[in-house]
Amino acid sequence: MNIFLIILFIIECFGFCYLFYKILEISKDIDTLYDNYSNFIEKDIKTNVVKRSVLLK
């Protein structure tokens, strides 16, 4: 009985570590997507400002 509980505890520890790793990986992916989106929006705004300044001249 004790060996069974130890095996279950080890499986539970590995499962927790795996899920924690997956959460960290997803968080890193979200940060990367946010950075890429921010850079894209910044470039788009700069190009729009340049286009509008040319039109106003």
How far is the C-alpha of 28 from the C-alpha of 21, rounded, in Å? 11
Query: What is residue 57's predicted lDDT score, i.e. its pLDDT?
Result: 66
User: Which residue intervals of 1-57 are DSSP H helices?
Assistant: 2-56
How far is the C-alpha of 3 from the C-alpha of 11, rounded, in Å? 12
Query: What is residue 51's predicted lDDT score, i.e. its pLDDT?
Result: 84
Query: What is residue 54's predicted lDDT score, i.e. its pLDDT?
Result: 77
Length of the chain counted residue by residue: 57
pTM value is 0.63
